Amino acid sequence: MDIWSWICELPSSNEWDESHSPLIFQLANSKPSALKTSASQSIQLRANRTSGSNSDDFVTFSVCLLGFDSENPETALWVSDTCPLSSEKPFLPLILQLLQEQVSRSPTAQNSTCPNSQLKQIKPDPVSWILDSHSPESFSSFFNLIFLTRLFWLCVFDAPSEVGSFYFYSLLAPNLETLTSKHTLILKTFFVSVGVDVELCFMRTLGYMLAKWLILREVGVVGLQSLTPLPSQSLGFSYAMESHGLWVLKGYAPVWAMTLTRSSRRKNGYNIVEAKESVLRYALAHQQLEAVVQLEYTIKFTDGFVLVNARVDNIRIHVAKLGFNGNEDGDYVDERHFPSRIRVWVGPEVGSTYVTGLSLGRSTDNAEREMEMQRVMKGSFGNLKVPKVKAMARVATRTRVKNWRWDQDAEGNVALFDAILCDNNTGVEVATWKPSNGDSQMKNNFQKRYAGANRPFTKAGGLVFAGDECGGGVGWRLGKEMEGSVLKWRIGCQVWLSYWPNGVKSSYFETRRVEWSDEVDLPLIVGKF
């Protein structure tokens, strides 16, 4: 599906047919047997030319349904604003409209401080710059992504259910590769240009759409499970950048798209879902992992070598519930996955020979011991032949075990930061835990985990690590000849999310994992720091 190329090749006004008949792009078409229907069905994108009062020509686009309603064979589902053909960028208004309508319908995370209704109109300059700086072939994948997402709201929410099934089967499933991480570059440029508020709304819309598709695929609706296997690349998005002395890695992943590593569902080689768990799992499926990893780096130039130091500045893990205000999940509103392990790595590109040494910091101790000592002395003095003196000493030891264990390690010249959530009573690692017969104490220790003064997570179910919690920094020594160059440094992250019942009674548990990696710049330029 290459909609953008078709739009760009629309003829100019003097080449358009005099009858002003619309030009048609077939988005999806099915024969009667494909979805067990009695008539062929299709979704079309139509371009219509109109003339203005000043003899200027305009084009409007419409999405039309054919064959879904016997009484109305053709139905216009959506009509765009007018696009002036005489403009230097005639289709920029169409792109802005699609983006604005997508962002404005974004599912709002619980207790969000920036609801999508407060977002102003997306500014045209950043989008115009992206349009100018990318080739039509490169921009085409980005346009297909925003158009598919806009069609999701039209077909699934603004049309009969039959149209929604047709969308998932005939439009979304064949174009899943559009939603994978291979289109990172242009999305990264777009997000940096429009700001983090638009980025969050955009990715939560995308995550909500993917969550719906994954749910339908799992239960086998309209043949999605047999016809559309998951793509080889992750159904999520991540990107990294260098900015003001920071390496920043951002990642988004619908929870149901993450790799399942442990689950109570799998028994005797089969996935078993009990009926009472259906509502719980439906609520858990509408969640998205949102992660930000910030590493601060410094560069020191000496007479004999270049020293590059890095430390964890901030790690923020948030599990957003993809829903709408006033339509919460009832008893399951506080049921969500929680981070149980975070692994971050950073270092030179593969095959590099310019690093001569790597220095690590210490791994943090899991247990902190505090000792209290008290001495009491009693005595009596006077003209006694035998002085009476008594002494008493009392020593008290208090041990406090932290939930998170931080380790540092190395793999070649790559430094690893590994944070592992442990039960502070048993010391067992949560991400690898699997209950034995009658073992429920571990799960009980993490119930009501979002309430109380000693809760291990934020009230919203997330987690924030500051640099002083993550052990010491790391350092690389590079040859002096590298001074003045801009190197590529690789950065990556693995996140494990676990689920145990928080406020409901259930035996269900699971752990899922996702991995992201990218490259960032390391400018070895004197005067930059």
Residues 445-478: tens digit of each pLDDT: 677 787 777 777 887 778 899 887 887 899 999 9
E strand or H helix that includes residue 210: helix 196-219
421 and 527 inside one domain: yes
Residues in contact with 245: Cβ distance below 8 Å, sequence separation at least 6, in sequence order: 296, 297, 298, 529
**pLDDT surpassing 70 at residue 48:** yes
- Please provide the distance, in angstroms rounded to a whole number, between the alpha carbons at the two ends of the chain: 47
Count the domains in the chain.
Answer: 3
E-strand ranges in 246-387 read 246-254, 259-263, 266-267, 270-271, 287-301, 305-321, 338-348, 355-359, 367-380
The 8-class DSSP code of residue 156 comes to I
CA distance 111 to 258: 25
131 and 271 inside one domain: no
CA distance 321 to 305: 49
Characterise 256 by phi-psi region: left (phi > 0), alpha (psi -120 to 50), beta (else): alpha
What is the per-residue pLDDT across 253-288, written as a single tens digit (0 to 9) for each? 999 999 999 887 655 445 555 666 788 888 899 999
11 and 62 inside one domain: yes
CA distance 313 to 510: 30
Band (pLDDT 50/70/90 cuts) for residue 33 is: very low
Write the burial class of residue 176 (CB in 10 Å: 0-12 exposed, 13-18 middle, 19+ buried).
Answer: middle
The 8-class DSSP code of residue 140 comes to H
- Measure the CA angle with vertex 273, ends 268 and 278; round to 5°: 170
211 and 328 inside one domain: no
357 and 373 inside one domain: no
Is residue 369 a contact partner of residue 443, using CB atoms and an 8 Å limit? Answer: no
**In this prediction, what percent of the chain has a pLDDT beyond 90?**
40
**pLDDT surpassing 50 at residue 342:** yes
110 and 182 inside one domain: yes
Amino acid at 339: P
Work out whether the CA dihedral 355, 242, 187, 156 comes out positive or negative: positive
81-90, 125-134, 213-222, 321-330: lowest mean pLDDT where?
321-330
**pLDDT surpassing 70 at residue 228:** no
269 and 377 inside one domain: no
277 and 318 inside one domain: yes
361 and 375 inside one domain: no
358 and 279 inside one domain: yes
Domain final residue, candidates 399, 421, 446? 399
CA distance 258 to 365: 30
Provide the CA 354 distance to its chain's centre, in angstroms.
34
3-state class (DSSP) for residue 226: helix
410 and 520 inside one domain: yes
Other Cβ atoms within 10 Å of 207 Cβ, number: 28
Q: Which of 474, 251, 275, 272 is nearest to 357 (CA)?
A: 474
Residue 374 has a pLDDT of 61
Domain final residue, candidates 201, 235, 269? 235
Residue 445 has a pLDDT of 67
Tell me the three-class secondary structure of 415-454, residue by residue: EEEEEEEECCCCCCECCCCCCCCCCCHHHHHCCCCCCCCC
Band (pLDDT 50/70/90 cuts) for residue 344 is: very high
19-33, 48-62, 141-155, 365-379: lowest mean pLDDT where?
365-379
DSSP conformation letters of 1-43: --HHHHHHTPPPGGGS-TT-PPEEEEEEEE-TTTTT-SS-EEE
Q: What b/e sequence results for 224-257 when a residue is b if at least 16 CB atoms lie within 10 Å of its CB, and e otherwise?
A: beeebeeeeebbbbbbbbbeeeebbbbbbbbbbb
3-state class (DSSP) for residue 284: helix
339 and 306 inside one domain: yes
Domain final residue, candidates 216, 235, 254? 235
CA distance 104 to 102: 6
**pLDDT surpassing 80 at residue 242:** yes
Q: Which of 237, 293, 304 is nearest to 416 (CA)?
A: 293
Tell me the three-class secondary structure of 370-404, residue by residue: EEEEEEEEEEECCCCCCCEEEEEEEEEEEEEECCE
In which domain, by residue range, is 248 found?
238-366+402-529
Q: What is the pTM of this model?
A: 0.86
**Residue of 58 and 396 predicted with greater confidence:** 58
